[in-house]
Homo-oligomer: A and B are copies of this chain.
Amino acid sequence: MAGNTFGTLFKLTTFGESHGTAIGGIIDGCPAGITLDLDMIQEEMNRRKPGQSAIVTQRKEPDTVAFYSGIFEGKTTGVPIGFAIHNTNQKSRDYSHIKETYRPSHADYVYDQKYGHRDYRGGGRSSARETASRVVAGAIAKQFLSDIKINAFVSSVGEISLDKPYQELDFNLTESNPVRCPDPDKAAEMEAKIREIRKEGDTIGGTITCVLQNVPVGLGEPVFDKLHAELGKAMLSINAVKGFEYGSGFEGAKMKGSQHNDIFNADGSTKTNLSGGIQGGISNGMDIYFSVAFKPVATIMQSQETINKDGEIVEMTGKGRHDPCVVPRAVPIVEAMAALVLADYYLLNKTIKK
């Protein structure tokens, strides 16, 4: 209810603030009998962690996961998987600049208004550090759904965007560059742009596209819990996300029905896929694809005017080591959230027929 749980049957609850002792979570409802590759989980964590390349934040957080329960002799047991990621980087810092002052386009002000009391260190609960727990759970969901292929990649940075349909991309190239764009030429352009922006002490937005392949027909519930509605919520719950579209998306709103309809092949597949693999909220066996818009990171290394708790106007300049562009590190988070949605709906779909 208070918003720290995702999913209903395959269910993740997370805890933890940016600069607290530890962050972590509990995965409840993960089926029994899944052999887990713990190294793969750590690799997913490494894709998200700070300091992994020259174009992301240079903070050092090893983000090592400790599992406390739910796994025995290498396999899930069906009971909750508790885990924690201890913060190793908890030096006592000077937070006076954010204790009393609200950073523009951050959650400081609304947290104070809503709760009356907040852990201001590093953004506390509103920090994207929380997403590390999602990556842990997503990695387990991926192993549960080993037949489904989940590939996210950066599709734009600022005005630079991929101009090919995803079918022409080689997803094996996504990890070949620090931007996580599977088109090497575009990746180079994007990387140069991010370096330039960082020099300016500024930040820039971008988009991530995600493709889900080999999803069985029938996932998704009609009416309120349509598959794309839950995918949309999952993505919109990631820090800095401003929009979500699937299939034809906003372009589809400009089209005619005679152009947009996907004509069937005899086997139930469709000749085109403007629907994006989902009809009436239910997967139809075609590729599911969607895009997610991320705003530029709000912490910039430039001087900005803002207010403090007393409503006084003050000057503020970003401190610390922040990402000039969030999308490269957000790719595994998008994949993790997609995996969580699919795992949940996969289990739910087991209960539909007698």
Contact = CB atoms under 8 A, between A and B. Distances in A.
A46 interface: no
Given A3-B225, A226-B236, A80 B15 contact: yes
10 contacts: A1-B29, A2-B9, A33-B353, A116-B353, A202-B257, A228-B236, A230-B233, A243-B250, A249-B293, A260-B298
Interface residues of A, number: 152
A290 to B, nearest CB: 9
A107 interface: yes
Q: State the oligomeric state as a number of copies.
A: 4
Pick from A25, A68, A228, A242 the residue with the most CB of B within 10 Å. A242
A253 B77 contact: no
A21 interface: yes
Interface stretch (A53-61, A165-173, A184-192, A203-211): A203-211
A268 B68 contact: no
A77 B118 contact: yes
A189 to B, nearest CB: 14
Contacts of A5: 5, 11, 13, 28, 224
A284 interface: yes
Contacts of A67: 21
A124 B243 contact: no
Contacts of A294: 253
A40 interface: no
Contact of A15 (B70, B252, B347): B70
Contact of A106 (B206, B280, B299): B280
Contacts of A114: 32, 78, 217-218, 282, 349, 352
Contacts of A8: 1, 8
Nearest to A284: B110
A16 B223 CA distance: 11
Question: Which residue, A234, A281, A298, A351, has most C-beta atoms of chain B within 10 A?
Answer: A351
A119 B72 contact: yes
B223 A258 contact: no
